[in-house]
Amino acid sequence: MEDQGQQEQASPEVHKRIQDSFDRQGLMRHLGARISHIAPGRVHIVLPARRELTQQHGYFHAGATSAIADSAGGYAAYTLFPEDSEVLTVEYKINLLAPAIGDHIEAVGTVLKSGRTLTVCQLEVHAVQDGRRKLVANGQQTLIRVNRPER
């Protein structure tokens, strides 16, 4: 199933809407994160290793790990929302399973249930070192769909 999810792509319109929204996020830009995959109900975000993203032992800081997990889940949900809506996180819980060390970390947000108002996503973060992936965090998130404000 992982291979199928990797091959499926969002429509060009959804891809543009997700990427445009992501590009407006100051935190993701500040961290140096980028979206690497957009599919219906699934988004991957990659964060390359930099000294500025580490904690005192040299591992990726939990704040950076959590931030990209939150955004990956949010954008996974947003792929399934109507064009005139926005997404906000209601809550999330993340378990840090192992120290995150590698060339980069990759967060994967996957929609478990998309509802009219609330959506629930699974969050996973893998550390990638020399092509080997290791699960370093996982969690669950609840998001709310809201109407896009008039501008």
Residues 9-17 have a mean pLDDT of 94
**pTM for this structure?**
0.93
For the chain, domains (ranges, CATH) are 2-147 (3.10.129.10)
pLDDT tens digits, 62-115: 999 999 999 999 999 999 999 999 999 999 999 999 999 999 999 999 999 999
Amino acid at site 24: R
pLDDT, residue 6, reads 52
Distance CA 104, CA 49 (A): 5
pLDDT tens digits, 14-69: 999 999 999 999 999 999 999 999 999 999 999 999 999 999 999 999 999 999 99
